């Protein structure tokens, strides 16, 4: 089965790319004009209209029993290859290359942390949601807390939330919304997507990875926080302690359209060992 999914908007459009990137005409200009930007905007418009407290709770209930599929981690990595963006001329290699490229980047920089290498391989596996019919705006793109007013660094913040009913609900529309100050991000309901799904899946299947690994995966698309610097009023000390890990991971996740494709077949045995160590066997998805 081939499922067509648009490019991950979180990797296509970065409002924080700034002047350095703007100088790079070869890449930046392509992202700021024409049909690609329209599509990215359309995805965020849908996301910011329909990701509500109610919607996210329903998705937790729908996917929280992990009865969609039984498969190993490596089978999920291979499954990502059927997620193809047929409309993006830049991405003509299988999606799983991004997983291996991210993992190998981390491995080079952190040779002693094998669990971190595995995080690179795992981090986008939640995108299998798209194979089960979930729309792109509920799978990919930047995430943000629902249940409180979106902050300035959320992409297209000023032009995409007008039709979100939560913003007209006094419980959810103040700066803190339904949260207590510094309640900790673990107590915050994030917009639904591949981050939260995979985090919950890893807990359900009892992955024996360190807390940093769970944390990086859960919040890797929370750009308004880890890059934008917003939502500090919801953070606990633990979140601030974890922030450097998320930022370190982000370096390897970004700019993945690298023409040097890794020799995946050579890499498989190493990563299979890590899978056998931290998350072996057939898992519930």
Summarize as ranges the residues that interact with Fe ion (CB under 5 A).
Answer: 124, 253
CB of 271 to Fe ion, least distance (A): 16
CB of 256 to Fe ion, least distance (A): 7
d(CA 50, CA 166): 9
Q: Which residues are annotated as a binding site?
A: 29, 85-87, 98, 123-124, 127, 141-142, 194, 220-221, 253
> If we measure between CA atoms, which residue out of 206, 196, 204, 210 comes closest to residue 115?
210
Question: Which of 56, 80 has the CB closer to Fe ion?
Answer: 80
> If we measure between CA atoms, which residue out of 238, 236, 8, 234 comes closest to residue 123?
8
3-state secondary structure 82-141: HEECCCCCCCCCCCHHHHHHHHHHHHHHCCCCHHHHHHHHHCCHHHHHHHHCCCHHHCCC
With beta carbons less than 8 A apart as the criterion, state whether 233 and 182 touch: yes
Question: Which of 179, 199 has the CB closer to Fe ion?
Answer: 199
Question: Which of 122, 279 has the CB closer to Fe ion?
Answer: 122
**Cβ neighbours of residue 253 closer than 8 Å, sequence gap 6 or more:** 102, 123, 220
CB of 124 to Fe ion, least distance (A): 4
Question: Which of 79, 166 has the CB closer to Fe ion?
Answer: 79
CB of 180 to Fe ion, least distance (A): 29
Question: Which of 104, 253 has the CB closer to Fe ion?
Answer: 253
CB of 99 to Fe ion, least distance (A): 8
d(CA 41, CA 100): 29
Question: Which of 102, 172 has the CB closer to Fe ion?
Answer: 102
Q: Which residues are annotated as a binding site for Fe cation?
A: 98, 123-124, 194, 220, 253
Query: Whats the size of the chain, residue-wise?
Result: 285
d(CA 154, CA 142): 8
CB of 233 to Fe ion, least distance (A): 25
d(CA 122, CA 117): 9
Q: Which residues are annotated as a binding site for substrate?
A: 29, 85-87, 127, 141-142, 220-221
CB of 221 to Fe ion, least distance (A): 5
d(CA 65, CA 263): 36
d(CA 36, CA 33): 7
> If we measure between CA atoms, which residue out of 149, 194, 192 comes closest to residue 169?
149
Question: Which of 30, 250 has the CB closer to Fe ion?
Answer: 250
With beta carbons less than 8 A apart as the criterion, state whether 127 and 80 touch: yes
């Amino acid at each position: 089965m081939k499922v067509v999914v648009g490019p991950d908007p979180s990797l296509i459009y970065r409002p924080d790319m700034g002047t350095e990137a703007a100088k790079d005409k070869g890449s930046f200009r392509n992202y700021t004009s024409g049909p690609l930007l329209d599509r990215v905007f359309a995805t965020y418009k849908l996301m910011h209209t329909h990701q509500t407290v109610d919607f996210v709770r329903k998705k937790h209930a729908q996917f929280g029993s992990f009865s969609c599929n039984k498969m190993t981690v490596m089978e999920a990595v291979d499954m990502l290859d059927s997620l193809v963006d047929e409309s993006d001329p830049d991405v003509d290699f299988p999606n799983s290359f991004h997983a291996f490229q991210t993992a190998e980047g981390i491995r080079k920089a952190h040779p002693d942390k094998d669990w971190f290498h595995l995080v690179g391989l795992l981090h986008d596996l939640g995108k299998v949601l798209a194979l089960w019919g979930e729309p792109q705006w509920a799978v990919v793109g930047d995430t943000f807390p629902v249940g409180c007013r979106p902050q300035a660094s959320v992409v297209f913040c000023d032009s995409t939330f007008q039709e979100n009913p939560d913003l007209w609900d006094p419980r959810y529309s103040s700066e803190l919304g339904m949260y207590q100050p510094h309640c900790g991000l673990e107590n915050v309901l994030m917009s639904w997507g591949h981050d939260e799904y995979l985090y919950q899946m890893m807990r359900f299947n009892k992955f024996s990875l360190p807390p940093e690994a769970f944390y990086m995966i859960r919040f890797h698309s929370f750009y308004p926080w880890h890059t934008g610097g917003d939502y500090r009023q919801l953070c606990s000390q633990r979140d601030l302690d974890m922030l450097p890990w998320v930022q370190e991971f982000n370096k390897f996740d970004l700019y993945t359209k690298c023409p040097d494709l890794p020799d995946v077949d050579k890499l498989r045995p190493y990563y299979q060992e890590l899978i056998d160590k931290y998350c072996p066997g057939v898992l519930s998805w």
